[in-house]
Structure 1
Amino acid sequence: MKILQVINGLNTGGAEKLLLDAIPLLNQQGVNVDLLILDDKEYPYLKELKKMKCCEIHTIGGGNIYNPLNVFKIIPFLKGYDIIHVHLFPAQYWVAIAKAISFASCKLIFTEHNTTNRRMKNIFFKYFDKVVYRIYNKIICISPEIRDILIKYTSLNPKKFEIIRNGIDIQKIKSAKRIDWIGINPTILDTDYIIIQVAGFRVQKDQKTTIKALSLLPKNVKLVLVGDGDLRSELETMAKSLHLDNRVFFLGIRLDVPNLLKSSYISVVSSHWEGMPLAAMEGMAAHIPVVASRVAGITELVENVGVLFEESDAVELASIITALIRNKDYYNEVSNRCSLYSQQFDIKKMIESIVTIYEKLSKS
């Protein structure tokens, strides 16, 4: 059984991080898994996967991932694998079209990582979305909410959908050692309270609300932003305009996130929408409070475990952070809840479920 994972690229993001963690484990389970990327830029995740030498990494040559001609570059790869497992748009479209016009015999799986996207609100794309989803043999949803939304949106048979929750390497996070913040930036003191947000710099992740909240907090509260993306310069300008450039630290894409989390005081997930954010799960596993926006894809994960605030409400976010800093008993209560709850997200459970689907589909 040969499996090809397909994704736009290995830039920063939850789906990308999931593949970085999952591919080596799948191969350890005896499943022959390779990777095809549309964007072959040498991002840190891609460099790390190459260093592991755990799979063949193919590329269609870079260029514009939204170019429809990518369909013809993908077709040759369909014939060498039993199952093609796709993540994210536009790879979702190009693989489905390539299968339809090539009549390849491989089976297709698509993992839906989000509760919503802009295509759902576009009349033109809504029609093509339904056609594309229909081409896939199985659609994996990372939460029950996503499954329910897609069943209604696509009108497809519910049997086409499977729920497999995201997983994280619990042991790696729990065993991670704390870092010395001064080694990263000498202006970060041992007495500072470090707020961390791990996310790509794009509209969905809403770092702006976290930066605004920081402006309402004491000077010994500092914010570490881990990630990169198109909005980085805009966020840096915003921090400077609020006179926070000495309290907001942009660390870029990092491979030592478990260490950074273990060295932080609070993890913030301030997204406008999500599927099942790895950042929240990893924060919980690091035994620190997770404070997150009350939106679809997050509420179900964090409610009654971490602390939720209303979407884009910087004042409420600042108030919650203040309460956690001032009340040590409350802080310990939340962090203990998070740590205990995180145990159910062990990546080994996710791998077992994926392998089961591969085996069933290959025999059908």
Structure 2
Amino acid sequence: MKILHVINSLATGGAEKLVVDTLPLYAEHGIEIDLLLLNGTEYPFFKELASLKCCGIFTLGMGSVYNPLHVLKIIPFLKNYDAVHIHLFPVQYWVVLAKIFSRSKTKLIFTEHSTSNRRIQGNVFMRFTDVIFYRQYNKIICITAKIQEILQYYTKLDNKKFVVIQNGVDLSKISQAIPTDKRLLPNDYTDNNLYLIQVSSFQEPKDQKTLIRAMTLLPNHYQLILVGVGPLKKECEDLAANLGLKNRVSFLGTRMDVAALLKMVDIIILSSKYEGLSLSSIEGMASGKPFVASDVPGLKEVVSGAGILFPVGDEKKLAKEILHLSNDPDHYAATVEKCLARAKEYDISKMVAEHINLYEEILRQQ
């Protein structure tokens, strides 16, 4: 069985990290696996995967992922694989067009990683176009039941087109991680400091600004660490400076030691406006620290009954929940215990096995 995964790039992001973590596991199961990138910039995830030498990595250059000429460049790859597994937009469109133009018989699988996007929120024309492209896939993997519900309503496609396979994380990597030395952080360290962290790209759905505003409602010994890069990073840096938080909010950029950072801090937070099935939330719950998240689709399904949920965009409620965890040791310990138990439901080995079963099922179909 030869499978090609295709994604825009290996820049920082949940889908990108999932690809990096899973491709070595497919190879361990005897799958001939390769990866095709529209943009082959050697981001840290790219270098990590290349160092493992578990798969071929092909790139279409260093330019924009929105260049429609990618369609022509994808065509030669289709004939070399039994199935192609696609992640994210716009490669979701380019591969379909490549298959249509080449009349390839290669099976196509798409993983929908989010409960929302600009196309779903867009006009009737965008919806009509989207449905045409979704229809071309042999199977659409939805990483939560909520995503399947939304996509079925949006596309009106038959239920058989969809399958729910939850994302997973390598729990052993997190449990075995050695906590980062707090004295190595940018801001001054004291024994009295209490550390919060959010790991996510700086894009509009991630809403780091709510968390930054919550810092103004917390005592001065609370320190916030923000890990990630993205177009809104500068805005968040300016907001922290304008609120007088420059010495209490650290922007660490891209880090490859996220598990060690999670083990170091006191509370882990994700203040997103929406998610698919956040790998960051699972990693956070698996770290042995309490996890706090906004009460939105893609997070509440994972976190409810384990971690703490707060109303989206409500910095006052978020600050209140942080203080409650900090000041109540029993509440803190109970939350940690429930988070650890929930994380065990999302082991990456289960996800990989379900993906392989799906590949085999699709390839049996004529």
TM tier, smaller: over 0.9
SS at match of 1:33: strand
Q: Aligned residue for 1:84?
A: 84
> What TM-score comes out, normalization by structure 2 length?
0.98
Q: Confirm or deny that 1:134 pairs with 2:135.
A: yes
What is the CA distance between 1:315 and its match in structure 2?
Answer: 0.7
Letter aligned with residue 332 of structure 2: Y
CA distance in 2 between counterparts of 1:96 and 1:253 reads 32
CA distance in 1 between counterparts of 2:103 and 2:266 reads 53
What is the CA distance between 1:184 and its match in structure 2?
Answer: 2.8
Q: Aligned residue for 1:105?
A: 105
Cα-to-partner distance string for 1:91-122 (whole Å, 9 max, x where unaligned): 10111111111111110000000011110122
CA distance in 2 between counterparts of 1:291 and 1:25 reads 30
Q: Aligned residue for 1:230?
A: 231
CA distance in 2 between counterparts of 1:79 and 1:11 reads 27
Q: Confirm or deny that 1:330 pairs with 2:335.
A: no
Q: Aligned residue for 2:164?
A: 163
Q: Aligned residue for 1:207?
A: 208
CA distance in 2 between counterparts of 1:29 and 1:221 reads 45
Q: Aligned residue for 1:11?
A: 11
SS at match of 2:259: helix
Q: Aligned residue for 2:75?
A: 75
CA distance in 2 between counterparts of 1:28 and 1:184 reads 37
State the aligned residue count: 364
CA distance in 2 between counterparts of 1:66 and 1:185 reads 37
SS at match of 2:196: strand
Q: Aligned residue for 1:60?
A: 60
CA distance in 1 between counterparts of 2:142 and 2:133 reads 16
Letter aligned with residue 90 of structure 1: P
Q: Confirm or deny that 1:246 pairs with 2:242.
A: no
What is the CA distance between 1:186 and its match in structure 2?
Answer: 5.4
Q: Confirm or deny that 1:219 pairs with 2:197.
A: no
Letter aligned with residue 169 of structure 1: D
Q: List alignment gaps of at least 5 residues for structure 2.
A: none
> What TM-score comes out, normalization by structure 1 length?
0.98
CA distance in 2 between counterparts of 1:324 and 1:242 reads 24
Q: Aligned residue for 1:47?
A: 47
Letter aligned with residue 104 of structure 1: S
Q: Confirm or deny that 1:22 pairs with 2:22.
A: yes
Letter aligned with residue 44 of structure 2: P
What is the CA distance between 1:172 and its match in structure 2?
Answer: 1.0
What is the CA distance between 1:128 and its match in structure 2?
Answer: 0.8
SS at match of 1:118: coil
Cα-to-partner distance string for 1:242-282 (whole Å, 9 max, x where unaligned): 11111111111111111110111111111011011011100
Letter aligned with residue 279 of structure 1: S
CA distance in 2 between counterparts of 1:125 and 1:53 reads 40
- 8 A Cα contact 1:172 1:258, kept in partner: yes
What is the CA distance between 1:74 and its match in structure 2?
Answer: 1.0
Cα-to-partner distance string for 1:137-171 (whole Å, 9 max, x where unaligned): 00000001111111111111111111110100111
CA distance in 2 between counterparts of 1:99 and 1:352 reads 27
- 8 A Cα contact 1:100 1:135, kept in partner: no
Letter aligned with residue 67 of structure 2: N
CA distance in 1 between counterparts of 2:40 and 2:233 reads 21
- Give the CA RMSD over aligned residues: 0.9
CA distance in 1 between counterparts of 2:190 and 2:109 reads 48
Identity value in percent: 48
Letter aligned with residue 201 of structure 1: F
CA distance in 1 between counterparts of 2:44 and 2:242 reads 30
Q: Aligned residue for 1:299?
A: 300
Q: Confirm or deny that 1:274 pairs with 2:275.
A: yes
CA distance in 2 between counterparts of 1:41 and 1:238 reads 30
SS at match of 1:240: helix
